[in-house]
Amino acid sequence: MKLISNKALRDFSATHLDAEGPLQAFRQLIEKGRYDNFAALRATFRGVDKVGERFVFNIAGNKYRLIAAIAFGPQLLWVKAVLTHTDYDKGDWK
């Protein structure tokens, strides 16, 4: 699967230094894998949930949340937001 865009991950890591390792590990797993549906995605990422049309991944032991849109057919994942758990709970990302 192709991740679009790593820049969002790097930008978030610039202000949350402890997120860099977990976010890049997430990117590597996404880019090495093929996920044909939500069940396949969840087999690798146990901390992913579907919220409306978006997919929400727990990052760094649920300290951060990555919000993504996924097109399973063409194998594309768009990073829509990376948030602290507190910012995620505010719900402004919806």
How far is residue 30 from each of residues 25, 41, 59, 77, 92, measured CA to CA in Å? Answer: 9, 9, 13, 8, 26
pLDDT > 70: percent of the chain: 100
Edge-to-edge, what's the strand order for the sheet holding 64-71? Answer: 2-4, 76-84, 64-71, 54-59, 48-51
Give the chain's mean pLDDT: 95
Split at pLDDT 50, 70, 90, the class of 40 is: very high
The 10s digit of each residue's pLDDT in 49-93 is 999 999 999 999 999 999 999 999 999 999 999 999 889 888 877
Superfamily of domain 2-90: RelE-like (3.30.2310.20)
For position 81, what pLDDT does the model report? 96
Q: Where are the domains of the chain?
A: 2-90
User: Which pLDDT score is estimated for 51?
Assistant: 95
* Three-state secondary structure call for residue 70: strand
